[in-house]
Amino acid sequence: MLDIAQLNAHLLDQSRASEFAGYDPFDSLNSRLLMATPFYRSKWVRLAWLQFGKRSPINFRPIMGVPKRRNPKGVGLFIGGLLEDYRRTQDGAYLDEARQLADWLLGERSDPEMWRHSCWGYHFDWQARAFYVPAGKPNIITTFYVSKALYDLGELTNDTALQAVALDSARFISKSLYIEKGERCFYAYIPGEDALVHNASLWGAAWCGFAGKLMNDTALIEQSMHVARQSVAAQAADGSWVYGARNHHQFIDGFHTGYNLEALHFLANAVGTDEFDYSITRGYQYYIENFFTEDGTAKYYNNTVYPIDMHNFAQAIFTLLKVGGRPEDIALCDKVVGRSIDLMYMPNKARFIYQKTRWMTNRISYVRWTQAWAYYALAFYIRYKEGLIDEAN
């Protein structure tokens, strides 16, 4: 019988051996080859180059001169997993390693003179259809996951200074990302952009509500609730959410739906409200009915299984256990975990593959997108199954 705890320990060892650094699906713009040419200045060249690196099943990054690096969000996820393992085993070595990674994150904060408050971004330039984001520019998703990891570590170690750094990021979200556009109000993904992306806005609301409660900041709580209501109002009658408000955002996928549900659940618990219960209930029902096959495979989109993606499996574990938690949800989660290992785990390399499509398999090791998510989710699952999860987690 497969020992999942041992598997996850091997995954941690493999990630530790590389010092938690590696490649990322979106890091191709770190290419020294591209940067040495004038083509880097072209939006369309950057977009094509990034998409080529993301979609190719062959890893051309060594040839392209893309270095292996740590990603702040990935490191935050690893800290989350280390804290789960510490809570389960009470082995202080996990805390020591989490503290070392936290020290690195503190040094990776985005420019404090520019942003005034704690915030984090990616370690690579990033070109989307609508905007360009230089390396280090803060974004709401990285800021949330890093802040949550630092706060939880501070709570476990009685480090109030670390907790203060983490909570301070809510000020950045509230001041630099809050948007009022027509009848809409939301938190933007990055400063200076006004696209409504529901998972980003809801995670921002969740963290601002959490921080506002702890800091006794009523205005921050009210703003977070106002923002959350915007995405709740945008939920379809069947319980689904499209990714965002722009024309090319009109798709419904599994892990972002899971983000939405977990964020609403987190916010409701943080501020002590049942206002979102109906939205969560119907959203979760849609999630269960549309994002899993009978054998436990996590579907990427509501209308197709592919691509099969370990990140999607990992988020499913959190959504099923945190938002669900009923016996039938736990049973489904067991199937999801088993299926993720059957389809995605490479025992000879002690890591997970990136994606499977209908026609090919991408085995490139992506630290933030795949290994960090897998380790964190499985560490949470193992502790949950051992009955060591309290209601606060």
| Domain 4-23+71-107+139-385, second-level architecture | Alpha/alpha barrel (1.50)
Residue holding tokens 């959190």?
A: 318
How far is 306 from 291, CA to CA, in rounded Å?
A: 11
Convert the pLDDT of each residue in 193-202 to its tens digit: 888 999 999 9
**Contact by Cβ (8 Å): 87, 80:** no
Q: What are phi and psi of 126, to 5 degrees?
A: -140, 125
Torsional class of 20: left (φ above 0), alpha (ψ -120 to 50), beta (otherwise)? left
Q: Is the pLDDT of residue 159 over 50?
A: yes
Of the candidate ranges 61-75, 119-133, 273-287, the one whose mean pLDDT is the lowest: 119-133
Segments making up each domain of the chain, as ranges: 4-23+71-107+139-385, 28-68
Convert the pLDDT of each residue in 231-265 to its tens digit: 999 999 999 999 998 888 899 999 999 999 999 99
How far is 70 from 391, CA to CA, in rounded Å?
A: 32
According to DSSP, residue 301 is labeled B
List Cα–Cα distances, 317 to 107, 258, 271, in angstroms. Answer: 31, 9, 24
Residue holding tokens 């770190």?
A: 30
- Residues 106-128 have a mean pLDDT of 94
According to DSSP, residue 297 is labeled P
Cite the beta strand spans of the chain per DSSP E.
Answer: 126-127, 132-133, 178-181, 184-187, 308-309, 345-346, 351-352, 355-356, 361-362
Convert the pLDDT of each residue in 273-323 to its tens digit: 999 999 999 999 999 999 999 999 999 999 999 999 999 999 999 999 999
What's the one-letter identity of residue 2? Answer: L
The tokens for 293 are 């096959």
pLDDT grade for 392, boundaries at 50, 70 and 90: very low
- Residues 24-29 have a mean pLDDT of 94
pLDDT more than 90, % of the chain: 91
Per-residue confidence (pLDDT) for residue 1, from 0 to 100: 43
Q: What is the mean pLDDT of the chain?
A: 95
Per-residue confidence (pLDDT) for residue 391, from 0 to 100: 45
The tokens for 83 are 């804290």
Query: What predicted TM-score, i.e. pTM, was given to this entire model?
Result: 0.96
Q: Identify the H or E element spanning 104.
A: helix 92-107
Q: Is the pLDDT of residue 364 over 70?
A: yes
Q: What are phi and psi of 100, to 5 degrees?
A: -65, -45
Q: Is the pLDDT of residue 393 over 60?
A: no
Convert the pLDDT of each residue in 209-236 to its tens digit: 999 999 999 999 999 999 999 999 999 9
pLDDT grade for 371, boundaries at 50, 70 and 90: very high
Contacts of 225 (CB under 8 A, 6+ apart): 205, 209, 267, 271, 273, 275
